Amino acid sequence: MPMIHHTEHLEQRKESLLNNSMFSEDLFALYRSLFSLQFQSLQHLASIITDSKLIVDTTQYPMIQPHTLQFTDEIIADIKKMFKNIAALITQYQTAYSFDTLLANLDDNPELYKDIITALLSKDSTFEAIALNNKLDTDELIFMAVNAYKPLFIALKDAALQDITQFPDYTEGLCPFCGFLPDMAKIVESKNNKRFLHCALCECEWEYKRVKCVACGNENTDTLGYYSYEPDEKYRFDYCNKCNTYIKTIRITKQHDESQFDLTVENLITNFLDASALQMGYTRQ
Ligand SMILES: [Zn+2]
Ligand SMILES: [Zn+2]
């Protein structure tokens, strides 16, 4: 499986990003540095993860279970570096943020690395409690945790799923590999207009029914719909009036090569869609 280099996709979209009034030069620079940190970490982790079976069980969904997570000291050393580097990067651009308490607590108690990712994947209230204990908003800790752990989860996915391109009989809206939430969807015309979801953590993609809410499973067309973004109709968000959530979607027509679109970067580019959806009263899952 080729390693996606988000920095390249980001650079290719530089012009459209900087024309977008919601995306500043600083934000662009922050993401470029972040993607570059993640790429370095991914290359290193890919070289040290020789046996993903310690963590991944491909006979069940999701293939990673939060309560069975165990990391070697070498993996923890890499994660530690990611937390420190990401904290330094964010505070460089957003001086109001401070991760000092979190970094100090992680130094005192290395078990916290595992607690954070376990709580993130378990999606329970312990995550909010950890954020509070470390003087962070939940969203700040989610950003940190997802970005610090992303290279590890991608490396595990690449090691475990070399020959698997789909997930038989899997119909859920959560990632079949790591159990985390999708950040975006795509509809691919050249694949019979099938819809695929993209995991915000391990970046795995899986097929999901076209007309079905990703968050609550609602299939009633009276309460499902989408809004297209008129200046560029490949972008839209799909909403559900039953649970009031939305998911952003990119529609890739036959004229375009699917590999041109990196959904991690598309998710950043389409922040204007989030703004419209939130303004209309929908929430992100
Ligand atoms: Zn995943
Ligand atoms: Zn719903």
One digit per residue, the tens of pLDDT, for the chain of length 285 reads 445 689 999 998 888 888 877 788 899 999 999 999 999 999 999 999 977 888 899 899 999 998 888 889 999 999 999 999 999 999 999 888 899 999 999 999 999 999 999 999 998 899 999 999 999 999 999 999 999 999 999 999 998 987 666 798 999 999 999 999 999 999 999 999 999 999 999 999 999 999 999 999 999 999 999 999 988 889 999 999 999 999 999 999 999 999 889 999 999 989 999 999 999 999 998
Ligand 1 centre distance from Cα of residue 222 (Å): 30
Q: Counting every residue, how long is the chain? A: 285
Query: What is the model's pLDDT at position 1?
Result: 42
Q: 134-169 burial, b for 16+ CB within 10 Å, e for fewer?
A: bebeeebbbbbbbbbbbbbbbbbbbbbbeeeeebee
Ligand 1 centre distance from Cα of residue 32 (Å): 22
Q: Which residues surround ligand 2, an ion (CB under 5 A)?
A: 213, 215-216, 218, 240, 242-243
Query: What is the model's pLDDT at position 19?
Result: 80
Ligand 1 centre distance from Cα of residue 230 (Å): 31
Angle at 42 between CA 135 and CA 48, to 5 degrees: 110
Q: Which bound ligand lies closest to the C-alpha atom of 160?
A: 1
CA distance 150 to 263: 14
Query: What is the model's pLDDT at position 164?
Result: 60
Ligand 1 centre distance from Cα of residue 265 (Å): 16
Ligand 1 centre distance from Cα of residue 81 (Å): 22
Ligand 2 centre distance from Cα of residue 14 (Å): 34
In the chain, beta strands by DSSP E: 182-188, 194-199, 205-208, 224-228, 235-240, 245-252, 283-284
Ligand 2 centre distance from Cα of residue 263 (Å): 22
Q: Which bound ligand lies closest to the C-alpha atom of 244?
A: 2
Q: Which bound ligand lies closest to the C-alpha atom of 283?
A: 2
Q: Which residues surround ligand 1, an ion (CB under 5 A)?
A: 175, 177-178, 180, 199, 201-202, 204
pTM of the model: 0.95
Ligand 2 centre distance from Cα of residue 23 (Å): 29
Q: Which bound ligand lies closest to the C-alpha atom of 182?
A: 1
Query: What is the model's pLDDT at position 22?
Result: 77
CA distance 37 to 151: 9
DSSP three-state, residue 201: coil
